[in-house]
Amino acid sequence: MKIATIALAAAMLPAWAQEIKLPVNLDALADKADEAVSVTMDKSMLQLAARFLNDRDDDEADVRKLIAGLDGIYVRSFEFKHEGEYSMADVEAVRSQFPSPAWGRLVGVRSKRGDNVDVYFKDGGNGQLGGIVVIAAEPRELTIVNIIGTLDPQRLVDLGGEFGIPRFERSRTHKEAR
């Protein structure tokens, strides 16, 4: 899976600030990283982007519908020069921010190559998701995506590759989701 360079800026919205704290060791990760990237798309920016997406293009129309219910997308990513410069304990510190029952894990992928992906979701009611956090850990990259708002779980894949969100391989995501 191609993971772009990115991660999460939680605590951007007051409601979320109460639920997801920015892990204290995120600064420590930034200190070790060769490259650190932060992307912030709040609701006003998403609305602007939505206006620009073309309804006649199927892909863009899908993304437009998808982001209509979103309040924000926050991505933070760290790229390291060498493998092993961040530890699984660093990742666990992020994962531990999403306790049940408020949060459930939708997908958990563990690969022998060291590519690990976790997708956590918050129930938004009526079969919708209320928020999603994606943690993608590769040997030399760690990416955290925080998507705030209501969205259809089937459409999560459509957001891959947009706004700095890593692309998801449709087949693997669906298989794991089942």
Q: Could you list the residues that contact other proteins (CB under 8 A)?
A: 4-6, 27, 30-31, 33-42, 44-45, 48-49, 51-52, 75, 77, 79, 81, 161-164
Q: How far is the CB of 160 from other proteins (least distance, A)?
A: 11
Contact criterion met (CB below 8 Å) for 140 and 146: no
Q: Is the dihedral of CA 146, 118, 162, 128 positive or negative?
A: negative
Q: How far is the CB of 105 from other proteins (least distance, A)?
A: 26
Q: How far is the CB of 108 from other proteins (least distance, A)?
A: 26
Of 131 and 160, the one with the shorter C-beta distance to other proteins is: 160
Q: What is the DSSP letter of 81?
A: S
End-to-end CA distance of the chain: 19
24 backbone dihedrals φ, ψ, rounded to 5°: -65, -25
Of 131 and 164, the one with the shorter C-beta distance to other proteins is: 164
Q: Is 63 helix (H, G, I), strand (E, B) or coil?
A: helix
Of 51 and 178, the one with the shorter C-beta distance to other proteins is: 51
